Amino acid sequence: MRKNAIIALADGTVFKGYSLGAEGETIGEVVFNTSMAGYQEILTDPSYEGQIVTLTYPLIGNYGTNEIDCESLRTYLKGFIIKESSVYPSNWRSRWDLETFLKRYGIVGIQGIDTRALTKHIRDFGAQEGVISTIDTNPESLINKAKASPGMVGKDLVKHVTCEKMYEWEQESTEAEFKEGEKSALGGQLDIFQKPQKAYSRSFHVVVYDCGVKYNIIRKLVNCGCKVTIVPANTKADEVLAMKPDGVLLSNGPGDPEAVSYMIENTRQLLGKKPVFGICLGQQIMGLSLGYKTYKLKFGHHGANQPVMDLTTRKVEITAQNHGFAVDADSRKGNAFGRVEITHINLNDKSVEGIECKDIPAFGIQYHPEASPGPHDAGYLFERFIALMEAEKS
């Protein structure tokens, strides 16, 4: 028999359902994701640090979980909300059902609620702090806990997800061997993950600032013929330049970009010296380094179906996204690093989805070119980065 569970929002909204995954209590910003698949990637995406994720698709877990479909060393989100969990997954790659995966890694969740109603509420009133509990059955108590939670603005969450030390990567595809019972050399919550550590020669050397990098970003770089070195987010720009990379990638990550002041300063020192490519949080940090401001979106962009127009080609891409902040297109002050153009916009809300420096080799993208919601619409962006490095070498 399932244990009762409650999700309470800071504005007093309460939903009652049943426990999913680990029992206990968890607090975070409640957001919704509109993807129909990819729940394991969502569970292991470092950009969800500090958040409770609601999936809008009603049946989750129907293809199970495995050792391969993970985007990082461990799970990061604070809680999980779904309509219904599949008890009998059916897929030849499945090793565990969703419930087992969540319990194994301590994720507190809730199911059996009206996720459509919760999603509409967040869309109307904005993302906000919430509490899932299987141990406190008093709604008023949970509402007060949610109200007392400080929220995302001004909080540096990158320090909770970045790697502890520099390492190198050689894996190209996702079909790697993961050995149960072995932990990563970096340490991690999930003992099923084993990260390749040995580097080998490639034509371009890219240093990736790990603000919460997803594995598939690194794999895409390797597929493009790059030797990849991943460094902690607080690595000084001088240390990176001493590695003599051909380019620098600023990765995705969680939270408020303005709170990651050390990354903003590092980026300022790198711009104009090496080709720079920013993805998601990386673009926001690049924008701040170039003189823009950022702001918090009402409920963010989370899902694999966001339409984006590339203004340089007028083509529309269907993109995968996960962010709660954006660059303010009209906020730039000063002319440091020369001219900057907005290259991509979101067709739903017209928010900035891409920027490009015209006088130095640097550009940023707000969405995830390594993720494929359908066709590989955005794969050309890695080729664009390669082209920048080739131009600098020639």
Write the single-letter amino acid at 318: I
- How far is residue 105's CA from residue 99's CA, in Å, rounded to a whole number? 10
Rg (Cα) of the chain, in Å, rounded? 20
| Residue 160 is a catalytic residue | no
Write phi, then psi, for 100 (nearest 5 degrees).
Answer: -65, -45
Which residue in 163, 226, 280, 357 is the catalytic one?
280
Which residue in 121, 301, 344, 368 is the catalytic one?
368
Which residue in 129, 258, 317, 370 is the catalytic one?
370
Q: Which of 298, 317, 297, 320 is nearest to 307 (CA)?
A: 317
Alpha helices in 255-321 (DSSP H): 261-270, 281-289
Helices 281-289 and 261-270 pack at an angle, to 10 degrees, of: 70
Percent helix, strand, coil in the chain, to 5, is 25, 30, 45
Place of tokens 């970009």: 257
Write phi, then psi, for 321 (nearest 5 degrees).
Answer: -140, 155
Answer yes or no: are the C-beta atoms of 236 and 262 closer than 8 Å. no
Between the alpha carbon of residue 226 and those of residues 222, 247, 364, 365, 386, the distances in Å are: 5, 10, 19, 20, 9
Q: Which of 227, 108, 90 is nearest to 167 (CA)?
A: 227
Distance of CA 351 to the CA centre of its chain: 18
Write the single-letter amino acid at 24: G
| Residue 280 is a catalytic residue | yes
Answer yes or no: are the C-beta atoms of 228 and 269 closer than 8 Å. no
**Which SS3 state, helix, strand or coil, does residue 222 take?**
helix
Answer yes or no: are the C-beta atoms of 308 and 316 closer than 8 Å. yes
Answer yes or no: are the C-beta atoms of 18 and 85 closer than 8 Å. no
Place of tokens 């509409």: 120
| Residue 368 is a catalytic residue | yes
Active centre residues (catalytic): 280, 368, 370
